């Protein structure tokens, strides 16, 4: 996650295609991450969440490819709740022996970083259609983060 965070801080795309290529690669990496870790985590419920997220990241890639072909989409004005749980959790590294809590923490941080990516791309976009499209993608990543935070709240925080 810190790799993407570092890249986000230095974003300077020459054009929209370059930004889209970066976003497509980020979605591919997210899909690979969730697919790989769905196989490694021991808890079935987390495995299912990771499999769902992997599938959704593939959907984002397809969405971005459609945008690259010229389609644009409108974002909704609906704000996604941010529980900010991940703001208080330390970064964790992916590891074979990571526990359920660390896996959820890692996933929350990844989704937060993806949200930041699309928010930054929306901010940099001069074209209203592209701005709306990137804002829509940011909202989708915020939904992923919220889903993970709700699981964390229910299964980690309330158990302790």
pLDDT at 15: 75
Tell me what percent of the residues of the chain surpass a pLDDT of 70: 88
pLDDT at 47: 86
Give the predicted TM-score (pTM) of the model.
0.78
Residue entry with tokens 């829509």? 136
* Residues in Cβ contact with 123 at an 8 Å cutoff, skipping those fewer than 6 apart: none
Supply the mean pLDDT for the chain: 82
Q: Band of the pLDDT at 146, cuts 50, 70, 90?
A: very high
Burial 135-150 (b: 16+ CB within 10 A, else e): bbbbbbbbebbbbbbe
* Packing angle, helices 16-40 and 100-124, rounded to 10: 170
Handedness of CA 142, 145, 147, 149 (dihedral sign): negative
What value does the mean pLDDT take over residues 8-29? 78
What value does the mean pLDDT take over residues 18-37? 89
pLDDT at 6: 53
Domains along the sequence of the chain with CATH: 2-8+15-74+87-157 (1.20.1260.10)
Answer yes or no: is pLDDT of 7 > 70: no
What value does the mean pLDDT take over residues 15-32? 87
The token pair at 41 is 């985590």
DSSP state of 74: P
Answer yes or no: is pLDDT of 9 > 70: no
């Amino acid at each position: 996650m810190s790799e993407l965070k570092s890249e986000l801080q230095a974003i300077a795309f020459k054009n929209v295609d370059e930004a889209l290529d970066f976003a497509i690669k980020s979605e591919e990496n997210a899909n690979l991450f969730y697919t790989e870790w769905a196989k490694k985590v021991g808890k079935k419920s987390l495995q299912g969440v990771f499999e769902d997220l992997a599938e959704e990241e593939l959907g984002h890639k397809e969405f971005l490819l459609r945008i690259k072909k010229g389609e644009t989409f409108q974002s909704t004005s609906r704000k996604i709740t941010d529980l900010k749980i991940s703001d208080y959790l330390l970064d964790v590294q992916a590891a074979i022996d990571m526990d359920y809590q660390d896996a959820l923490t890692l996933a929350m941080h990844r989704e937060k970083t993806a949200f930041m990516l699309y928010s930054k791309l929306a901010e940099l976009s001069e074209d209203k259609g592209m701005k709306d499209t990137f804002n829509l993608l940011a909202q989708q990543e915020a939904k992923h983060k919220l889903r993970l935070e709700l699981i964390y709240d229910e299964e980690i925080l309330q158990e302790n």
